[in-house]
Amino acid sequence: MLDELLKKIADRTARVGIVGLGYVGIPLAMRITEIGLPVLGFDILPERVRQLHSGESPIRHIPADAIRAMRARGFEATCDYSRAAECDALLICVPTPLDKHREPDLQFVTSTMDSLGPYLRAGQLLALESTTWPGTTAEVLAPRLVAAGLTPGQDAFLAYSPEREDPGNPDFDTSRIPKVVGADDEASQRAGVALYSTFIDTVVPVSSSRAAEMVKLLENIYRAVNIGLVNELKIVAQRMGLDIFEVIDAAATKPFGFKAFYPGPGIGGHCIPVDPFYLTWKAREYGIHTRFIELAGEVNASMPEYVVGKTLQALNARGLVMSRARLLVLGIAYKRDVDDVRESPSVLVMERLRDWGAHIDYADGQVPVFPVMREHSFDLASVELTPQAVASYDAVLILTDHSDVDYAMLRDHARLIIDARGRFSNQPAPHIIPA
């Protein structure tokens, strides 16, 4: 079985199935088709499949030309999971959110496995890419393979390889980001390394699926903790009358022992606000309370409220009442130059301002219409940033600093700016309030 799969991978005839065509799955499919392997994409959303077949991009920072080129190389998409039997490898790239109790929610992983189960066959490689707690591959996926009549390492192969996409970052594409691969038997490890080595420049094998799962959590916990640190230092620095961005940039000139992280209105996206809690949850099984990680989470979660407090203070200082204020939120995506609003702190700030009675609008060229979200609701569309529009608001809150904004115009025409991203950290002015 293994030799046959390795031969198909080597001669570029192995068909790869990508399950979940989103921010991770689409770039992965694009890269795999580039090197000549046939790709079949699976998604539960018929509209997503229609868009891809029509050459449309469902993700703003991925151009439609790239989707059309992928289609020209033979990429197909489907909602029909029975076609999983056509694939020699299946890479699962589905969401792993938290539930309402802030505990891991693996419903997308388990439902995907349940959908694939009847169509899994001997000789296939199954690899999970979704971020999760150490033990998921062995404890959740392996039993489902066995239930399908397959034994990992013998007649099928099972691995974990965490996704490492950085949407909107032009410096790293899928091929150039090293890929960690872990499996719990030698045959599965060989199959996983062989497949990923065909389209990733550097593959990093680790000793087990649990080790690979822990790698992903460490990467994102490292970021969450350091962001929490600079968010707390920002509050201290502002109280001392210091510019935290100046301090960080000066510290970053040290050529060793320091990596710059920057504060903001909180943390967002599908990884950083979520992944640390996968480990804190699993650690409790071992009787360990991860105080350091949870403290960073508390600091980061408090930042939207801090921004609201700074806004309230700035309005009061000008004789304005929050309940009658007209406020413009600049940027609702969770990071610069992407259209993803998942876990965005901007949305939390908007909700809190609305609770105070303020009139809220937003401007974000990446997100023309406020999207349908499970826990948040605004019936809004993005406002055009003209001098007249900017001047009509009592305050503009910079919560996401997209590159396509005319910040000089904003500085010249806004009555009041609440700057949570340090965009004007080197341009002090009475109407610009760091937050």
pLDDT over 80 at 167, yes or no: no
Confidence band, pLDDT 50/70/90 cuts, at residue 329: very high
Would you state the CATH architecture of domain 224-434?
A: 3-Layer(aba) Sandwich (3.40)
Asked if residue 5 lies in contact with residue 123, where contact means CB atoms within 8 angstroms, the answer is yes
- How does pLDDT run across 301-317, given as a tens digit for each residue? 999 999 999 999 999 99
pLDDT value at residue 376: 84
pLDDT value at residue 272: 87
- How does pLDDT run across 62-72, given as a tens digit for each residue? 999 999 999 99
**C-alpha span between 131 and 270 (Å, rounded):** 9
pLDDT over 90 at 168, yes or no: no
Domain with CATH 3.40.50.720 in the chain: 2-204, 224-434
Supply the pTM of this predicted model: 0.92
pLDDT over 90 at 299, yes or no: yes
Confidence band, pLDDT 50/70/90 cuts, at residue 328: very high
pLDDT value at residue 375: 78
Three-state SS letters, the chain: CHHHHHHHHHCCCCCEEEECCCCCHHHHHHHHHHCCCCEEEECCCHHHHHHHHCCCCCCCCCCHHHHHHHHHCCCEEECCHHHHHHCCEEEECCCCCECCCCCECCHHHHHHHHHHHHHCCCCCEEEECCCCCCCHHHHHHHHHHHHCCCCECCCEEEEECCCCCCCCCCCCCHHHCCEEEEECCHHHHHHHHHHHHHHCCCEEEECCHHHHHHHHHHHHHHHHHHHHHHHHHHHHHHHCCCCHHHHHHHHCCCCCCCCCCCCCCCCCCCCCCCHHHHHHHHHHCCCCCCHHHHHHHHHHHHHHHHHHHHHHHHHHHCCCCHHHCEEEEECCCCCCCCCCCCCCHHHHHHHHHHHCCCEEEEECCCCCECCCCCCCCCCCECCCCCHHHHHCCCEEEECCCCCCCCHHHHHHHCCCEEECCCCCCCCCCCCEEEC
- How does pLDDT run across 383-405, given as a tens digit for each residue? 999 999 999 999 999 999 999 99
Mean local confidence (pLDDT), 55-59: 93
pLDDT over 80 at 424, yes or no: yes
pLDDT over 80 at 174, yes or no: yes
pLDDT value at residue 63: 93
- How does pLDDT run across 342-375, given as a tens digit for each residue? 999 999 999 999 999 999 999 999 999 999 887 7
CATH number of 2-204: 3.40.50.720
pLDDT value at residue 222: 96
Selected catalytic residue, list 79, 87, 93, 271: 271
- How does pLDDT run across 213-262, given as a tens digit for each residue? 999 999 999 999 999 999 999 999 999 999 999 999 999 999 999 999 99
CB-count exposure of residue 368 (10 Å: 0-12, 13-18, 19+):
exposed
pLDDT value at residue 270: 80
Confidence band, pLDDT 50/70/90 cuts, at residue 196: very high
- How does pLDDT run across 373-385, given as a tens digit for each residue? 877 889 999 999 9
pLDDT over 80 at 169, yes or no: no
pLDDT value at residue 102: 83
Average model confidence (pLDDT) for the chain?
95
Active site (annotated) includes residue 271: yes
Asked if residue 113 lies in contact with residue 144, where contact means CB atoms within 8 angstroms, the answer is yes
pLDDT over 80 at 47, yes or no: yes
